[in-house]
Structure 1
Amino acid sequence: MPYVNIKLTREQEPITREQKAELIAGVTELLVQVVGRGPGTTVVVIDEVDTDNYGVGGATITERRKQGK
């Protein structure tokens, strides 16, 4: 059973419900085409991560964006 976890940053312009549905359908179809797995056994999870909850180089993404990095 394929299990795909998509992690996206939660931005000011949120990803819409329709866009999420399109991602789920597209990833499922890609797995069907590439690895031959049935869509009924494919799980796709989308996690939205707040930019305060991860960082690079010792600073949160929120802070780095404020600094123009």
Structure 2
Amino acid sequence: MPIVTVKMFEGRTDDQKKALVEKVTDAVVETTGASKEAVTIVIEEMTKNHYAVAGKRACDE
């Protein structure tokens, strides 16, 4: 039972998230041989002030 977590900044539309889930599911099925019903996708959205690289928050760029 593959479980895929996608972390991304908030702001995508429902249509974009739907397309993402469909394509990621298809890729997992194709590469692992798992059934579509066994694939779980979790989308975790975050604000830019909750993400930083090299000591700088994404919202400060």
Same fold (TM over 0.5): yes
Q: Provide TM-score, normalisation by structure 2.
A: 0.90
Is 1:31 matched with 2:28?
Answer: yes
- The percent of aligned pairs where both chains have the same amino acid is 30
Among 35, 50, 55, the alignment partner of 1:53 is: 50
Structure 2: how far apart are the matches of 1:25 and 1:59?
Answer: 33
SS of 1:15's equivalent?
Answer: coil
Matched residue, 1:22: 19
Structure 2: how far apart are the matches of 1:19 and 1:8?
Answer: 12
Is 1:44 matched with 2:37?
Answer: no
In our comparison, the structure showing a higher alpha carbon Rg is: 1
Q: Provide TM-score, normalisation by structure 1.
A: 0.80
Alignment RMSD, CA only? 1.0
Equivalenced residues, count: 61
Structure 1 stretches of 4+ with a deviation exceeding 2 A read none
TM-fit CA distance, 1:48: 1.0
TM-fit CA distance, 1:59: 2.3
Structure 1 gap ranges (5+) = none
TM-fit CA distance, 1:57: 1.9
